Structure 1
Amino acid sequence: MTILVRFSCCVLLAIGVLFCGGCSSAERQQRAKNPAFEVTEASIEDVQGALQRGDCTCEQVVGAYLARIAAYDQPTTLNSIVITNPEALETARQLDAEYKRTGTMRPLHCIPVIVKDNYNTAGLQTTAGSLALKGFAPTTDASMVKVLKAAGAIVLAKSNMAEWAFSPMVTISSIAGETRNPYNLAHVPAGSSGGTAAAVAASLGTVGLGTDTGNSIRGPSSHTALVGFRPTLGLLSRAGITPLYLRNDTGGPMTRTVADATRLLEVMAGPDPADPLTAYSADKIPAGGYRQFLDKNGLKGARIGVLGTLSERNPDPQVKAVFEQAVADLRKAGAVVVEVEIPNFDEISKGHWCTVFKHDVNVYLSDLGPGAPVKNINQVLASGKYSAYIKENLEDELANGVLPGQATAGCGEAYTDPRRIAFRNAVTAVMDQNQVGALVYPTWNNPPAKIGDLKGYRGDNSQFIAPHTGQPAFTVPMGYTYDNLPAGLQFLGRSFDEPTLIKYVYAYEQATRHRKAPALFPALPAAK
């Protein structure tokens, strides 16, 4: 969808009420007197507060984001969006009518969401970044999308991703090309959820969804000054999400604030019959939800472990300096910070990756039904419809990946695989011995690489623990390095202990307030 007129939300003067088709004359006049609501950097609370005050309608909120996408995404070569939802404005109108009729809002009423292109979205193209799936629209939503819609959220657009989610370093697909970092377009946003990261960072939507197999929520969030939650494996349903390695995969929120990520988590968490792994979360959701843990004093008296094994892994000097300041800020906020090491880390952390892509993707593609243009990954390779940089990945997965029915042979999930359990137990034992609630380290030890600089892709710390142990790991902005490129601080917690991580990351965020909007994507000028 293309929006030709640039406008800020709710600028209703000379052009009247742009999206108020059913309003009376009195309503139009009253809206024209209200102050404009600007969507740039707006939170969930900001959007819903504006609706409650009557500053704008949901339709105008959605229109404002679509205007930003049209003005900024392709014209600046940010290239974060694959497709916008042609039904978004109509959905917004329906939500406006519902609010007018009932006077109440759903938990995520009128919150436009940027959805990574590997989440099934009913009636809206879903490709996992692959040209082989171009034009394909599933008939059903992924479970996480379904619950967000039920809570009143709007799928605004699908975001670009690393093709088939193969790369943690870059966001390049045969469907939409390469996504750039909104803080400096000469740099990458990492991968594979870089499209969501770039779009949310540039305020092309209120919040976003990513997926994380090894890094792909936390790395892009770190590179774009966002909050990224990789939850405990089994807390969120993966049903309807194109897998990479399902034994490691999880979805999760990517937002500009901890409060927004927590709101999304609260709506999405819990068992789903379509994903058996979520049975482990059945008694793990806190009564009263997760927002009760948004405590600005949450670091007072907390014990935090600095994991030197990762933080001292050849860090860039500027990232190291920012991290040292982050540790000082933790202490200033009331935390007791101790140095922590995990014995035999190199030994217990190696050999956990397992090539289950062929099996998992073939199952996913076969479940898409007769409308899917390809039925298995062999057909994708045979079609030639893939980016050159993933050809080796595809060939290797086809040659060495497990076959259907063999996926569990030495490649078990987080709660039955003995090696994964042993790794998690070792990490948890160190946390218990040191009486710490979380381990911290830089999300990346190096700044975002330059576009095309293959040697610059180094320093990713997210791959080592959480993907294999299943533990939750959250990243939050910790400052900026060269040319205002963002860096992230990662908190790793015990399994299903999201409440503690929320307390810590929220308190740190509120104490430091590092998040700032990328200068290249300011508020749009008001329409005249």
Structure 2
Amino acid sequence: MPTIHRRAAAGGLAALTATGLVLAVATAPVATAAPAATPLLAPYWTELDLTGDDQVTSDDLAVVAAALGATTDDAAWADVATADTDRDGTITVADLAAVSQRMIYDDGSFELVEASVLDMQAAMNAGVTSSVAITQEYLDRIAAYDTTLVDTGAGGRPLHSIVTTSDVALEAAARADAARAADGMTSLLLGVPVALKDNYDTKDMPTTGGCGCWDGNRTATDATMVDGLRADGAVVLAKASLDEFAFGFVSEFSSYQDAGTSTLVASPYVTSRTAGGSSGGTGAAIAANLAGLGFGTDTGGSIRVPSSYNQLVGVRPTVGLASRDGIIPLALSQDTGGPMARSVLDAAVALDAVVGVDPADPVTSRQEGAVPASYTQYLDADALDGARIGYVPSMLGSNATTLRLWAQTRATLESLGATVVEVTPPSTWSPVLPNGFASVLSEGSGSTNEFKHDLDEYVAHHLSTDVTARSLAGIVESGRYVPSRRSTYVSRDAVTPETYQAWAGPAGTHTKVLAEGKQLVTAMLDDADLDALVYPSANPYGTIGTNLRLSPNTGLPAVTVPIGQATEADATVTGGGVNLELLGRDFEEGPLFGLAFALEQATHARTSPALYGPLG
């Protein structure tokens, strides 16, 4: 496993208003520059730390309790002055209460369904539950719900969101509990169960890519991003279903099935509908509360489509923020991995764990100096106040639900202090982009000309020697793949090295489009002084034109957040979700998180799928 150069500390919460566990504290407005480096859980959760462990615990409360009555005249005042929260020169019971509010600790009842990372940590810190108990409950939910026909209505289908569960997840959870007992909460991911799209290498579970021909692919190492999650104490719970080799938006896979057969992943909101793709298994599993957090990959929409279909927050990071080493590729010009979560907070915490420079993926060297100590520092409920948000009318589409929810969301953005600006994109740009913005959106996926080359590289460096299908031709010969994909695989196998270089090489046509596309869209943001460009990620269970191509065809980051659901009156797909996507400048995931968090806190648009509630 290559060395990944990660930050020494993860976490950091500036303002949390949704949990009910704490008081919200406003931070400075979001700036485009990364905030200064800070320790674990700073600033709100650490500024009253008295014992030097970068968090407020019972040890700090003991120090304050022992100092009750101390004043500025006492010799040891300097040791407890931080706890004088009301600045009256005396340590009082009111100060003790204020310090206690900064603990991630909740000894009330714990409900796993819709629990956030912070909820889990607070309950585990209080001893109300444990990582072993949480992990077991998620395993129980998978067993009860994933392959069971819960929806008996017309067209209802089982979720089929999980390919396999880990045989060692409970052991990992027990190690996390032991680490907490010995050292306290060392990370916001400590003991949190995570589901990974089954194109992330995991040394303790096979990595199939959704294809039956690779059922035996147990790799020798973890993907670099998985290594980061484990280093922060996360429990790798399961591998999630996906559209075979991450090609499409329906999440049809052949893993662990008879030759010539395949299965579709269902959305937990409307099970007769697909969960989207290609990260549809992750989307369905996280929405149905079958894991705490999820990770997908995105080449042309594969995080953002299932996030929209399943009312999740999805993050397509800047290409180069997180290493792709150990992830089965589709097109490395556009591939990137990222979190899918039930809240912006959870997504920010998850992203913290996986960023870093990795020599095995040289493009990650671009991030040097651009990554903050923690993305959670940007979470500010007032982040939209004074922000400038741009939109291109043609990207709104014509779907009745989407247009209704956009109108409501625009009003919300403006009520929160944002200026919403209609943007006219350039219609010309250069010989590479003759039609300007339209040329950026019309550029196709890199998978057509890159998949064979990039897959061969993965096979050479990662694929288990136990697997016999070691090329696209071998996959076709195996007969164990989604039957409808044969022509796709045959055509991709015919791509020559010369065609690949002409497309994706340093002077390739696709390479030039992506580079100039980034320049064009960045200029759009700069010229209108925008903090983000926004557009719907998808309609209810359907895509919108070429919206999904904007982020991959520029390499710029995007965060998608739920804004509501279709109603019967819309005459679309009742219950189907719609997400708003926020696109920003290179490596400015932090400001995007801030804007998305503010919108989320104002709307609380996500709903929990009624069919998949708490187990009886």
For normalisation by structure 1, the TM-score amounts to 0.87
Superposed counterparts of 1:235-246, under 5 Å: 235-246=321-332
Distance in 1 between residues matched to 2:313 and 2:507, nearest whole Å: 25
| Pair 1:324 & 2:407 matched | yes
- CA deviation map 1:380-403 (0-9, x unaligned): 01111111221121112112x243
> Could you say which residue in structure 1 is the equivalent of 2:502?
409
Distance in 1 between residues matched to 2:391 and 2:382, nearest whole Å: 20
Distance in 2 between residues matched to 1:304 and 1:408, nearest whole Å: 38
Distance in 2 between residues matched to 1:375 and 1:484, nearest whole Å: 42
> Could you say which residue in structure 1 is the equivalent of 2:39?
none
Superposed counterparts of 1:20-169, under 5 Å: 36-76=109-149, 77-167=158-248, 169=249
Q: State the secondary structure of the residue aligned to 2:374.
A: coil
> Could you say which residue in structure 2 is the equivalent of 1:230?
316
> Could you say which residue in structure 1 is the equivalent of 2:423?
340
> Could you say which residue in structure 2 is the equivalent of 1:273?
359
Letter in 2 for 1:485: G
Instruction: Pick the aligned partner of 1:502 from 593, 611, 615.
Output: 593
Distance in 2 between residues matched to 1:141 and 1:49, nearest whole Å: 29
Q: For residue 78 of structure 1, report the CA deviation from its aligned partner.
A: 0.8
Relative to structure 1, the CA distance from residue 473 to residue 349 in structure 2 (aligned partners, 3 Å threshold; closer, same or farther) is same
Q: State the secondary structure of the residue aligned to 1:268.
A: coil
| Pair 1:298 & 2:383 matched | yes
Distance in 2 between residues matched to 1:247 and 1:402, nearest whole Å: 17
| Pair 1:520 & 2:600 matched | no
Q: Which moved more, 1:102-111 or 1:203-212?
A: 102-111
- CA deviation map 1:199-219 (0-9, x unaligned): 000000010000000000001
Instruction: Pick the aligned partner of 1:463 from 548, 558, 580.
Output: 548
Relative to structure 1, the CA distance from residue 512 to residue 412 in structure 2 (aligned partners, 3 Å threshold; closer, same or farther) is farther
| Pair 1:485 & 2:485 matched | no
| Pair 1:437 & 2:510 matched | no
| Pair 1:386 & 2:466 matched | no
> Could you say which residue in structure 1 is the equivalent of 2:30?
none
Relative to structure 1, the CA distance from residue 309 to residue 413 in structure 2 (aligned partners, 3 Å threshold; closer, same or farther) is farther
Superposed counterparts of 1:2-13, under 5 Å: none
Distance in 2 between residues matched to 1:228 and 1:347, nearest whole Å: 26
Distance in 2 between residues matched to 1:55 and 1:373, nearest whole Å: 48
Q: For residue 464 of structure 1, report the CA deviation from its aligned partner.
A: 2.2
> Could you say which residue in structure 2 is the equivalent of 1:190?
276
> Could you say which residue in structure 1 is the equivalent of 2:59?
none
Q: For residue 326 of structure 1, report the CA deviation from its aligned partner.
A: 1.1
Q: State the secondary structure of the residue aligned to 2:295.
A: strand
| Pair 1:213 & 2:299 matched | yes
Question: Are the aligned partners of 2:198 and 2:239 in contact in 1 as well (CA < 8 Å)?
Answer: yes
Q: State the secondary structure of the residue aligned to 1:305.
A: strand
- Number of aligned positions between the proteins: 477
Relative to structure 1, the CA distance from residue 393 to residue 59 in structure 2 (aligned partners, 3 Å threshold; closer, same or farther) is same
Q: State the secondary structure of the residue aligned to 2:346.
A: helix
> Could you say which residue in structure 1 is the equivalent of 2:52?
none
Distance in 2 between residues matched to 1:340 and 1:413, nearest whole Å: 32
Alignment gaps of 5+ in structure 1:
1-33, 449-456
- CA deviation map 1:148-184 (0-9, x unaligned): 00000011000000001110x2011011611100001
Question: Are the aligned partners of 2:515 and 2:554 in contact in 1 as well (CA < 8 Å)?
Answer: yes
Question: Are the aligned partners of 2:216 and 2:467 in contact in 1 as well (CA < 8 Å)?
Answer: no
Question: Are the aligned partners of 1:309 and 1:342 in contact in 2 as well (CA < 8 Å)?
Answer: no
> Could you say which residue in structure 2 is the equivalent of 1:174?
254
Which structure has the greater CA radius of gyration? 2
Distance in 2 between residues matched to 1:187 and 1:476, nearest whole Å: 20
> Could you say which residue in structure 1 is the equivalent of 2:561?
476
Q: For residue 352 of structure 1, report the CA deviation from its aligned partner.
A: 4.7
- CA deviation map 1:270-318 (0-9, x unaligned): 21111111010112112x321110001000000000122311x3x2112
Q: For residue 447 of structure 1, report the CA deviation from its aligned partner.
A: 1.4
Distance in 1 between residues matched to 2:229 and 2:361, nearest whole Å: 17
Distance in 2 between residues matched to 1:40 and 1:100, nearest whole Å: 25
Relative to structure 1, the CA distance from residue 249 to residue 413 in structure 2 (aligned partners, 3 Å threshold; closer, same or farther) is farther
Q: State the secondary structure of the residue aligned to 2:610.
A: coil
Letter in 1 for 2:145: Y
Q: For residue 35 of structure 1, report the CA deviation from its aligned partner.
A: 5.5
Q: For residue 105 of structure 1, report the CA deviation from its aligned partner.
A: 2.9
